[in-house]
């Protein structure tokens, strides 16, 4: 027999493992791992732009939105809290393509990777707006919006060039204003498309052509109002760089006063409308006022540029502040509360369905054991017995009537009335005593003689 003696090995308990995980930084708990991953995603990735199709959209009573963004090969869970979704100007629908600005995060209780949406736009408008912002930031970083590059407008223009559509309302407005204010001012029109895919190239070529000919000392570049997509040719980089490179001062007059394009930032002066641009270059008795307006527009442009830069700096500071803001923790707790609320609702609905099924089964069993059938049988038996009782009572009634008739006949045979009917009579005193012999009465007594068909009243004499 061979014996092998092994050394004793102690197996650590769950408490010892937990204590070692607290003292050993290389051992993670699940909670700590999820927290570290969430911080890593939020701090390293920052803000992302994402295009996708909405699915599984849910809007609980808390006001937060939960949805999934997907494409043909992948999907990601998303949350948009009510502090952000109140700025969304449309109602998201399943199947809708959207562009979102979001930050990456992790829902720690489940370990689910998700994104927290800060803004949402329909894909078409959102993509154009994103391209607008990117090009604006790029050109601003290159200094194309700097005031030092702006050319001053000539105080007394000798010739005005107009770059716009030859059939548009903008050209009509410009010509009407110039005709009214300064009919002698020469005008050269450089017709071009102001909408569509080829419009940006044609606008840039018209600006280059005007600079090459040196016919004008100021240019008006613009068109009437429209949607962001209609005005998009004035947001092309080629148009912006051509305007910046122009040696002739350029007035941007695109759309209405509320419409802003990249051309407005690059141009030497931005006019709110084509008519306003015509007023800037035309001379009349109020030319000093026009000069002041030009300075005002320059100041407004400089202020817009300064405000834009300050907004960018503010966004950076706001982002840094947001990363340390307790709102994110509150949002995660609100999301967890929404999840628990929905789980409770599902559990209540499940319990309710089970109760309904149990009630239905009990009702079925009750119907199987219902006394209704027994009652019907008892009613039938009762009806039979009632019929038998009625028959017995009728038979008994017939027998009783027959017996009664026989007794009447017997009574009639011994009845004094029968004797009276044979010619006899009964005499009674006034006191009702029967007179059987003459001595029973005396003179003056009142007598009543009863016959078969009546009575005779008499007096004894």
Q: Are residues 148 and 283 in the same domain?
A: yes
User: Residue 2 domain-assigned?
Assistant: no
Mean pLDDT score, 239-262: 89
Q: Are residues 168 and 66 in the same domain?
A: no
Distances, alpha carbon 164 to alpha carbons 174, 255, 313, in Å: 10, 12, 36
Residues 360-416 pLDDT 10s = 998 888 877 777 777 888 888 999 999 999 999 999 999 999 999 888 888 877 777
Q: Are residues 148 and 236 in the same domain?
A: yes
What percentage of the chain carries pLDDT values higher than 70?
90
Cα maximum dimension of the chain: 182
CATH for 221: 3.40.50.2300
Q: Are residues 170 and 87 in the same domain?
A: no
Q: Are residues 110 and 206 in the same domain?
A: no
Chain centroid to CA 196: how far?
Answer: 37
Q: Are residues 40 and 149 in the same domain?
A: no
Q: Are residues 171 and 236 in the same domain?
A: yes
Half-sphere exposure of 276 (CA within 13 A, CB side): 19
pLDDT of 436 strictly over 50:
yes
The residues, ordered by sequence, that sit 6+ positions from 66 with a Cβ below 8 Å of its Cβ are 56, 57, 58, 59, 60, 77, 78, 79, 80, 335, 338
pLDDT at position 11: 42
Rounded Cα–Cα distance for residues 391 and 397 (Å) = 10
Residues 21-67 pLDDT 10s = 455 667 878 888 878 877 887 777 778 888 888 899 999 999 999 99
Rounded Cα–Cα distance for residues 277 and 209 (Å) = 21
Q: What are phi and psi of 268, to 5 degrees?
A: -70, -35
Considering 272, 287, 302, which residue would you say is the last residue of a domain? 287
Considering 230, 254, 287, which residue would you say is the last residue of a domain? 287
Name 251's bridge partners: 220, 269
Higher pLDDT, 8 or 89: 89
Mean pLDDT score, 326-333: 78
Residues 64-104 pLDDT 10s = 999 999 988 899 999 999 988 988 888 898 888 888 899 88
Residues 335-367 pLDDT 10s = 888 889 999 999 999 999 999 999 999 888 887
Mean pLDDT, the chain, integer = 83
Q: Are residues 105 and 194 in the same domain?
A: no
Distances, alpha carbon 442 to alpha carbons 406, 439, 446, in Å: 43, 7, 9
Angle at 134 between CA 242 and CA 114, to 5 degrees: 165
User: Residue 8 domain-assigned?
Assistant: no
Rounded Cα–Cα distance for residues 155 and 159 (Å) = 12
User: Residue 1 domain-assigned?
Assistant: no
User: Residue 136 domain-assigned?
Assistant: no
Q: Are residues 78 and 155 in the same domain?
A: no
Least confident of 285-299, 306-320, 397-411, 415-429: 285-299
3-state secondary structure of 263: helix
User: Residue 89 domain-assigned?
Assistant: yes
Least confident of 102-106, 120-124, 210-214, 432-436: 120-124
User: What's the alpha-carbon Rg for the chain, to the nearest Å?
Assistant: 57
For residue 447, give both structure tokens: 């007598």
**CB 277, CB 157: distance < 8 Å:** no
User: Residue 244 domain-assigned?
Assistant: yes
User: Residue 96 domain-assigned?
Assistant: yes
H-helix segments, 156-250: 169-181, 199-213, 237-245
Residues 125-166 pLDDT 10s = 556 666 777 888 888 888 888 888 899 999 888 999 999 999
Considering 287, 316, 341, which residue would you say is the last residue of a domain? 287
Total domains in the fold of the chain:
3
CATH for 86: 2.40.50.140
User: Residue 134 domain-assigned?
Assistant: no
Q: Are residues 154 and 260 in the same domain?
A: yes
pLDDT at position 290: 67
pLDDT of 3 strictly over 60:
no
Residues 189, 193, 199, 201, CA torsion sign: negative
Beta strand pairing call for 218-223 and 250-254: parallel
Q: Are residues 116 and 162 in the same domain?
A: no
Strand segments (E) across 337-460: 426-429, 446-451, 454-459
Q: Are residues 173 and 263 in the same domain?
A: yes
The neighbour count for residue 145, using CB atoms within 10 Å, is 24
Q: Domain range for residue 211? A: 143-287
Q: What are phi and psi of 148, to 5 degrees?
A: -65, -20
pLDDT of 106 strictly over 50:
yes
The residues, ordered by sequence, that sit 6+ positions from 137 with a Cβ below 8 Å of its Cβ are 312
pLDDT of 230 strictly over 60:
yes
**CB 460, CB 443: distance < 8 Å:** yes
- Whole-model pTM: value is 0.42
């Amino acid at each position: 027999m061979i014996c092998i003696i092994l050394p004793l090995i102690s197996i650590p308990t769950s408490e010892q493992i937990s204590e070692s995980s607290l003292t050993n930084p290389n051992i993670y708990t699940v909670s700590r791992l999820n927290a570290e991953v969430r911080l890593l995603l939020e701090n390293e990735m920052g803000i992302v732009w994402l295009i996708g199709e909405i699915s599984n959209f849910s809007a609980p009573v808390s006001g937060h939105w939960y949805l999934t963004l997907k494409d043909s090969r992948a999907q990601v869970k998303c949350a948009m809290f009510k502090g952000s979704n109140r700025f969304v100007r449309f109602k998201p629908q399943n199947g809708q393509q959207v562009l979102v600005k979001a930050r990456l995060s992790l829902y720690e209780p489940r370990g689910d990777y998700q994104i927290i949406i800060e803004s949402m736009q329909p894909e078409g408008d959102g993509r154009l707006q994103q391209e607008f912002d990117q090009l604006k930031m790029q050109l601003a970083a290159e200094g194309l919006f700097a005031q030092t590059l702006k050319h001053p407008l000539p105080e007394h223009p000798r010739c005005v060039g107009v770059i716009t559509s030859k059939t548009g309302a903008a050209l009509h407005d410009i010509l009407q204003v110039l005709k009214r204010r300064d009919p002698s001012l020469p005008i050269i029109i450089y017709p071009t498309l102001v909408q569509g895919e080829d419009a940006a190239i044609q606008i840039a070529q018209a600006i280059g052509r005007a600079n090459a000919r040196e016919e004008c000392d100021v240019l008006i570049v613009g068109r009437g109002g429209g949607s962001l997509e209609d005005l998009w040719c004035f947001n092309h980089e080629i148009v912006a760089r051509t305007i910046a490179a122009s040696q002739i001062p350029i007035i941007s007059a695109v759309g209405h006063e509320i419409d802003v394009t990249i051309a407005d930032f690059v141009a030497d002066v931005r006019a709110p409308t084509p008519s306003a641009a015509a007023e800037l270059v035309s001379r009349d008795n109020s030319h000093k006022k026009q000069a002041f307006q030009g300075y005002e527009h320059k100041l407004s442009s400089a202020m817009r540029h300064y405000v834009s830069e300050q907004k960018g700096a503010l966004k950076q500071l706001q982002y840094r502040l947001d990363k340390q803001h307790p709102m994110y923790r509150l949002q995660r707790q609100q999301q967890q509360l929404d999840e628990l609320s929905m789980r409770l609702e599902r559990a209540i609905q499940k319990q309710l369905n089970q109760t309904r099924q149990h009630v239905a089964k009990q009702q079925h069993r009750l119907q199987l054991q219902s006394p209704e059938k027994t009652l019907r049988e008892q009613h039938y038996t009762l009806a039979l017995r009632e019929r038998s009782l009625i028959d017995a009572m009728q038979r008994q009634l017939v027998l009783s009537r027959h017996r009664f008739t026989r007794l009447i006949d017997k009574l009639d045979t011994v009845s004094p009335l029968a004797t009276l009917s044979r010619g006899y009579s009964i005499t009674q005193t006034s006191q009702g005593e029967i007179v059987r012999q003459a001595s029973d009465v005396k003179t003056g007594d009142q007598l009543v003689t009863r016959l078969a068909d009546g009575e005779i009243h008499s007096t004894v004499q």
